[in-house]
C-alpha cells in the first residue's frame, strides 16, 4: 500500500472504532444491531484485510505477516460464527465452535511472533537473549499470579469449560511474555512494530480477562466499553504489519543489567507470595524458569567480564594495526630481562623503515597500512623460529628481542630482509641498531636509548651512502656524455651550496640544493649533439626540444627513491618568478626556494663560462645582469644573497683563478631577451 491509502485506512478504522466506543459509553442501547453487530464485525474484518494485504503486497517478512493474518482471520471466523449462531439465542453453549476460532488465534500468533523474532532480532548475544528470557518468564510468573489465579478460583463446571476458560489467559500471558522478551532482548528499543503488537496484545488480554471474570460471576453485559477492546487489539495488530522497520540501536550496559534485575525481583516477589497464598502451577513454573535464567545470566556476565578483561589487557600491550607487542609490552619484557627472570643473554634490535614515508605519501595511508601488515607477518614468523619476540614501537619503527646465539647477526640480517620490499617506483628497506643484554645496558631505558642512537647512526650512514652512490652514478653518466657538463655542474653546485647557506636554509635543504645543482643538467644526456653543440642560436623547434631536459632530468633522478625530493627541484630549476619559465609556468613562491637558488647559480656560471657562440662575461657584469633581471627572471632575495657570496673575498679570489673553459651547453635563461 502507498502511504496515502495506509493513512486513509488508519483514519477510517480509528474513526469507526471511536464511534463504536462512544456508543458503548454514551448510548449502548441505541441502534444495537448497527453498532454491536454490523460495525463491530466490520472493524475486525477490516483488521484481517489490512494484515493480509501487507502479507500479499510486500515480500519482506511475508511468512510472519501471513501467520498473523491467519491468527486474525481465525479470531474473526469465531466471532462471525458467534454472531450468526447465537445473537438471538437465549442459551449459548460453552465451549462452542466460536471458541475454536478464538483459540486458533494463539498458535498462529505465536508462529508469527517467532518468525518476526527470527527476522528482526535473531543476531543477538547470549546475554541479550537471557535478558529477554528473564523478562519473559518474569512477566509470565506475575501474569499467571495476577490473571490466572482469580480465574482459577472463579471457574467451575465441566472440564471442557474450565480448560477453555483457562486457555485464554494462558495464551494471552504467553504472547505478552514473548513480546516482553523481545523488548528486553532489544534493549527496550523494539521499534514501532513491536510497540503496536504489544499494545494490541495488552488490549486483547485485558478484554479476555475482564470478560472471563464477569462471565464467571454472571456480571457480563454485552455492548459495553469492554467489547471495544477486542477490535482495538485486532486493529493495532493489523497496523503493526505496516510499520516501517528501523534498525535497532545498540543498548548501553547499564540498561542491560536493569531489566533482569527488575524482572528477577518480580519473580522473587511471586515466590515469596506463594509462601502466604499458594499460586498456581503455571506461575510457580514461570518463577522457577525466571530464577534459572537469572543464574545463567549471572554466569554469562561473569564470562563476558572475564573475556573483556583479557581483551583489554591484550589491547593494552598490543599494536592495533599489526597485532605485535607495543612499546608497553617491550618495556615489560625488558624489565623481566633486567630483573633476572630471563637468565640467558639476549639482543635488543631496533629497526626503522627507509623509504616508507615516500611510499605512504605516494600510495596513501591504506596502502601504507597494508604493507606494514605484510612486513609484520614476515618479521613475526622469522623471529618466532628462533624463540624471539617482535614489537611495533609506532609508525615505521619495529623492535625484536632475540636470544643471543652465534648466528644472531645472520638473524638480524634476515630481519632486515623481512622488513624490506621493492616494487614499481618504490623501495623499502630497514636500518638497524642493536644492543647486547645485559652486557651493554643495565636498565630498559638505557638499552632503548643506546639502540636508538645506533639505529640513527646506521640510518644516516645508509642514507648518505645511498644519496652519494646514486648521485655519483648520474654525474658519471653526465661526464661520459659531455665532460664539460660535469665540470659546469660542479661549479654550479659550489655556488648554490654557498648561497643556500647564506640564506640560512636548514642543513637538509642545503644538501638537497647542492645535489640538485650537480644533477640539474642530467636530462641533457638525452639531447642530441646537433642541438647541444650547435654553434649558433637555436630555432624555436630546437628550443622546444631543449626545454624538455628538466622533465627528462626529473624522470632520471626520481628513479632513485633517495633522490625523489631532488628530482622535484630539478624539474623547477628553469622556472621564472614572473611565470614565463618552464615546464610548469610557476611563479613567485610557488617555485621551490632551492630551485630558485640553482637557477641563479646556473645562470651566473653560464654567463661567466666561454661558450662557442658568445664571449664570457666578467663576474661583475654577470652580477649586474642578475640584478637587472631580479624580480622578473630571478628571485631578488636569492640574487642579493648570491651577490654577497660572489663578492666574498675568498670566493672572488677562487673565481678569478678559475680559467673559463668551453662549455658547450645551452641555457634558455641567457638565450632569451631579458624582460
Active site (catalytic) residues? 396
b or e along 417-442 (b: 16 or more beta carbons within 10 Å of the residue's beta carbon)?
Answer: ebbbbeeeebbbbbbbbbbebbeebe
SS3 of residue 60 by DSSP: coil
* The three grid cell numbers given for residue 371, joined into one nine-digit string: 604493507
Strands (E), 424-530: 426-437
* The three grid cell numbers given for residue 328, joined into one nine-digit string: 608497553
CA 3 to chain centre: 36
- Name the CA dihedral angle for 310, 314, 320, 323, rounded to a multiple of 10 degrees: -120
Whether 176 contacts 237, CB under 8 Å: no
Beta-strand relationship, 426-437 and 346-354: antiparallel
Q: For residues 289 and 600, give the distance between their C-alpha atoms in angstroms, rounded to a whole number.
A: 91
Q: For residues 675 and 666, give the distance between their C-alpha atoms in angstroms, rounded to a whole number.
A: 19
Whether 201 contacts 232, CB under 8 Å: no
Distances from the Cα of 598 to the Cαs of 91, 401, 415, 475, 642, in angstroms? Answer: 114, 47, 41, 16, 10
* The three grid cell numbers given for residue 566, joined into one nine-digit string: 631532488
* The three grid cell numbers given for residue 211, joined into one nine-digit string: 470478560
Whether 613 contacts 538, CB under 8 Å: no
SS3 sequence, 148-216?
HHHHHHHCCCCHHHHHHHHHHHHHHHHHHHHHHHHHHHCCCCCCHHHHHHHHHHHHHHHHHHHHHHHHH
SS3 of residue 482 by DSSP: coil
Beta-strand relationship, 389-394 and 346-354: unpaired
Closest CA to 521 of 596, 576, 573: 573
DSSP state of 245: P
CA 148 to chain centre: 52
DSSP state of 523: G
Sequence-ordered list of residues with C-beta below 8 angstroms from that of 422, at least 6 positions apart, any chain: 428
Whether 546 contacts 552, CB under 8 Å: no
Closest CA to 593 of 671, 516, 485: 516
Q: Which long-range contacts (CB under 8 A, 24 or more apart) does 316-320 make?
A: 319/391, 319/392, 319/394
Residue 403 — φ and ψ, nearest 5°? Answer: -70, 140
DSSP state of 560: S
Q: For residues 150 and 145, give the distance between their C-alpha atoms in angstroms, rounded to a whole number.
A: 8
Closest CA to 193 of 51, 74, 42: 51
Amino acid at each position: 500500500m502507498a502511504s496515502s491509502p495506509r493513512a486513509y485506512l488508519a483514519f477510517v478504522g480509528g474513526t469507526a472504532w471511536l464511534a463504536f466506543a462512544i456508543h458503548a459509553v454514551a448510548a449502548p442501547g441505541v441502534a444495537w444491531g448497527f453498532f454491536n453487530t454490523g460495525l463491530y464485525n466490520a472493524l475486525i474484518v477490516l483488521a484481517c484485510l489490512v494484515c493480509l494485504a501487507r502479507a500479499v503486497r510486500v515480500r519482506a517478512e511475508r511468512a510472519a505477516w501471513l501467520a498473523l493474518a491467519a491468527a486474525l482471520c481465525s479470531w474473526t471466523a469465531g466471532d462471525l460464527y458467534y454472531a450468526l449462531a447465537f445473537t438471538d439465542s437465549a442459551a449459548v453453549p460453552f465451549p462452542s465452535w466460536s471458541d475454536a476460532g478464538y483459540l486458533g488465534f494463539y498458535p498462529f500468533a505465536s508462529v508469527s511472533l517467532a518468525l518476526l523474532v527470527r527476522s528482526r532480532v535473531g543476531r543477538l548475544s547470549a546475554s541479550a537473549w537471557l535478558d529477554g528470557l528473564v523478562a519473559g518468564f518474569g512477566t509470565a510468573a506475575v501474569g499467571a499470579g495476577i490473571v490466572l489465579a482469580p480465574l482459577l478460583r472463579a471457574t467451575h463446571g465441566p472440564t471442557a469449560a474450565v480448560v477453555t476458560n483457562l486457555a485464554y489467559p494462558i495464551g494471552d500471558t504467553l504472547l505478552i511474555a514473548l513480546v516482553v522478551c523481545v523488548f528486553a532482548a532489544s534493549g527496550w528499543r523494539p521499534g514501532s512494530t513491536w510497540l503496536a503488537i504489544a499494545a494490541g496484545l495488552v488490549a486483547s488480554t485485558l478484554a479476555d480477562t475482564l470478560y472471563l471474570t464477569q462471565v464467571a460471576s454472571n456480571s457480563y453485559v454485552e455492548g459495553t466499553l469492554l467489547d471495544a477492546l477486542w477490535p482495538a487489539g485486532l486493529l493495532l495488530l493489523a497496523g503493526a504489519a505496516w510499520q516501517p522497520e528501523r534498525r535497532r540501536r545498540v543498548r548501553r550496559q547499564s540498561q542491560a543489567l536493569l531489566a533482569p534485575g527488575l524482572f528477577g525481583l518480580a519473580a522473587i516477589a511471586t515466590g515469596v507470595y506463594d509462601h502466604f497464598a499458594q499460586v498456581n502451577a503455571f506461575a510457580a513454573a514461570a518463577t522457577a524458569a525466571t530464577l534459572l535464567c537469572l543464574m545463567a545470566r549471572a554466569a554469562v556476565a561473569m564470562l563476558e567480564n572475564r573475556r573483556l578483561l583479557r581483551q583489554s589487557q591484550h589491547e593494552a600491550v598490543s599494536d592495533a594495526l599489526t597485532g605485535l607487542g607495543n612499546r608497553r609490552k617491550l618495556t615489560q619484557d625488558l624489565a623481566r630481562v633486567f630483573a633476572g627472570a630471563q637468565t640467558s643473554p639476549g639482543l635488543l634490535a631496533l629497526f626503522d623503515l627507509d623509504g616508507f614515508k615516500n611510499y605512504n605519501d605516494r600510495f596513501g595511508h591504506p596502502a601504507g597500512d597494508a604493507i606494514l601488515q605484510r612486513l609484520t607477518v614476515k618479521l613475526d614468523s622469522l623471529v618466532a623460529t628462533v624463540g624471539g619476540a617482535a614489537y611495533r614501537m609506532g609508525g615505521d619503527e619495529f623492535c625484536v628481542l632475540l636470544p643471543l646465539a652465534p648466528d644472531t647477526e645472520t638473524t638480524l640480517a634476515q630481519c632486515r630482509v623481512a622488513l624490506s620490499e621493492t616494487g614499481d617506483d618504490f623501495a623499502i628497506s630497514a636500518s638497524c641498531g642493536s644492543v647486547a643484554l645485559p652486557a651493554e645496558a643495565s636498565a630498559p631505558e638505557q638499552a632503548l636509548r643506546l639502540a636508538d642512537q645506533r639505529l640513527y647512526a646506521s640510518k644516516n650512514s645508509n642514507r648518505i651512502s645511498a644519496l652519494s652512490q646514486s648521485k655519483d652514478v648520474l654525474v658519471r653518466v653526465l661526464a661520459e656524455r659531455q665532460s664539460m657538463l660535469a665540470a659546469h655542474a660542479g661549479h654550479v653546485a659550489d655556488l648554490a651550496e654557498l648561497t643556500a647557506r647564506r640564506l640560512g636554509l636548514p642543513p637538509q635543504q642545503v644538501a638537497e640544493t647542492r645535489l640538485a645543482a650537480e644533477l640539474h643538467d642530467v636530462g641533457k644526456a638525452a639531447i642530441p649533439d646537433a642541438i647541444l653543440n650547435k654553434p649558433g642560436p637555436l630555432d624555436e623547434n630546437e628550443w622546444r626540444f631543449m626545454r624538455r631536459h628538466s622533465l627528462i632530468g626529473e624522470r632520471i633522478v626520481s628513479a632513485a627513491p633517495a633522490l625523489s625530493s631532488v628530482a622535484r627541484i630539478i624539474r623547477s630549476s628553469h622556472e621564472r618568478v614572473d611565470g614565463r619559465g618552464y615546464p610548469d609556468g610557476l611563479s613567485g613562491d610557488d617555485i621551490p626556494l632551492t630551485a630558485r637558488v640553482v637557477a641563479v647559480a646556473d645562470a651566473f656560471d653560464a654567463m661567466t663560462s666561454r661558450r662557442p657562440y658568445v664571449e664570457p662575461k666578467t663576474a661583475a657584469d654577470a652580477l649586474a645582469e642578475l640584478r637587472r633581471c631580479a624580480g622578473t627572471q630571478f628571485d631578488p632575495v636569492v640574487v642579493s644573497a648570491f651577490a654577497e657570496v660572489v663578492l666574498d673575498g675568498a670566493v672572488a679570489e677562487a673565481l678569478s683563478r678559475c680559467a673559463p673553459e668551453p662549455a658547450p651547453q645551452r641555457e634558455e635563461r641567457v638565450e632569451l631577451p631579458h624582460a
